[in-house]
Amino acid sequence: MSFHRFVALGDSFTEGVGDHDATRPNGVRGWADRVAEVLADDDVTYANLAIRGRKLLQIAATQIDPALEMKPDLVTIYAGANDVLRPRVDIDHLIEVYDAAIGRLVDGGARVVMFTAYDPGGAPVFGALRGRFAIYNELVREVADTHGATLVDFWRLRDYRDDRLWDVDRMHMSSAGHQRMAIAVLDTLGVAHDLRPLDLAERPVLTARQRRAAHLDWARAHAAPWVKRRLTGTSSGDSMDPRRPVLAPVAPPGG
């Protein structure tokens, strides 16, 4: 299967947050870049319009039209997780807007790749929202079925229960997590590749006291600022622009 114009849409998941690379725009790489590097063998051009913190209605309002103007033959889109994490959310309305957006992308001639959200069941903070995420994911699957979109079912990728696939903030994938997601996307699309999971560091052996201290450090450094942004209606991406706003060639790995 060959693609030539790849556009990635969404929030921090697609922007690449957690996969740190100071040499790239916004200081991140991400699974979408990794997928584009594999597709580069077919002279693909690639744009990434995703911005961290964006909610589904914002993505639908600001990213769909620019994407369609590029006449892509491959679009990936991840949206909704930031909405589901809010204290109040109208999931049915979100899905109605999402359904219309996916319909437009499919009608524009693109192969559309969607994602369910991760299963937060084992997470100490976000696990309380597991039921809400399960409802959202089931409706996302229905939208994918309706429009014939390709679905990467993140909920069912159980290897992400390994905390080494997550960055220190415990909210975004690490480089190993982004590599794993790139593999999942390529495999789901049926694209041949030679990507392999990244080697993982050995887990440190912590005492109960050290674990409590680590949880407190995380709460101060990451959870508290996240809660503050939600309470004040601000986002880490408020002053940011897409890091690849137009289609451009991408070098293959090592290129």
Taking residues 222-226, report their average pLDDT: 63
User: Phi/psi at 140 (nearest 5 deg)?
Assistant: -65, -40
User: Which CATH number does the domain housing residue 166 bear?
Assistant: 3.40.50.1110
Confirm whether 232 is domain-assigned: no
51 domain residue, yes or no: yes
pLDDT of residue 231: 62
The Cα–Cα gap between 81 and 89 comes to: 11
pLDDT class of 221 with cuts at 50, 70, 90: low
Query: Would you say residue 56 lies in a domain?
Result: yes
Contact yes or no for 188/150 (Cβ under 8 A)? yes
3-class DSSP state for residue 99? helix
Is residue 233 a part of any domain in this protein? Answer: no
Query: For residues 116-134, b (16+ Cβ closer than 10 Å) or e, as one string?
Result: bbbbbeebeebeebeebbb
Q: Residue 202: pLDDT band by 50, 70, 90 thresholds?
A: confident
> Is 127 contained in some domain?
yes
What domain range is 107 assigned to?
5-198+242-249
Closest CA to 105 of 215, 10, 209, 219: 10
Contact, 140 vs 92, CB < 8 A?
no
Residue 128, CA distances (Å) to 97, 121, 165, 171 in order: 25, 8, 21, 15
Strand partners, 183: none
The set of residues, in sequence order, having a beta carbon less than 8 Å from that of 34 and lying 6+ positions away, is 178, 179, 182, 195
pLDDT at 240 over 90: no
- Does residue 65 lie within any of the structural domains? yes
What's the total number of domains in the chain?
Answer: 1
Give the per-residue pLDDT at 215.
Answer: 65
Dihedral pair phi/psi, residue 225, rounded to 5°? -60, -35
218 within domain boundaries:
no
pTM confidence score: 0.89
The percentage of the chain sitting over the pLDDT mark of 70, rounded to a whole number, equals 89
* Calpha distance 185→187 (Å, rounded): 5
What rounded mean pLDDT belongs to the chain? Answer: 90
Beta-carbon contacts of 188 under 8 Å, excluding residues fewer than 6 positions away, are 113, 150, 151, 152
Domain membership flag for residue 203: no
